[in-house]
Structure 1
Amino acid sequence: MTFPSFYDAAPRLVVFDPLSAFLGAAEDGLLEYGYADAVRLAGHSCPTVAGAYLMTVRSLERLYPDEVPERGAVAVSVREAADDGVAGVMASVATLLTGATENTGFKGIAGRFDRRNLLSFGVGIQGTMAFVRMDTGAGVQATLDSGVVPVDPAMPGLLQRLLSQAASPDEAAQFRILWQKRVRRMLVDHASDPRLVRLAAWNGRPDA
Structure 2
Amino acid sequence: MEIHIEKNADELGKHAASLIADLLNITIKERGEARILLSTGASQFSTINALINKDIDWEKVEMFHLDEYIGLDENHPASFRRYLMARFVSKVNLKNAYLVDGNGNIEENIKKLTENLNLKPIDIGVIGIGENGHIAFNDPPADFDTNESYKIVELDNKCKMQQVGEGWFEDINNNVPATILKSHPKWTLFLDEESASLVKDII
| TM-score bracket relative to the smaller structure | under 0.3
More helix per residue: 1 or 2? Answer: 1
Q: Please identify the structure whose Cα radius of gyration is greater.
A: 1
Q: Which protein has greater RCO, CA pairs closer than 8 Å, 6+ apart?
A: 2
Given the two structures, how large is their TM-score scaled by the length of structure 2? 0.28
Given the two structures, how large is their TM-score scaled by the length of structure 1? 0.27
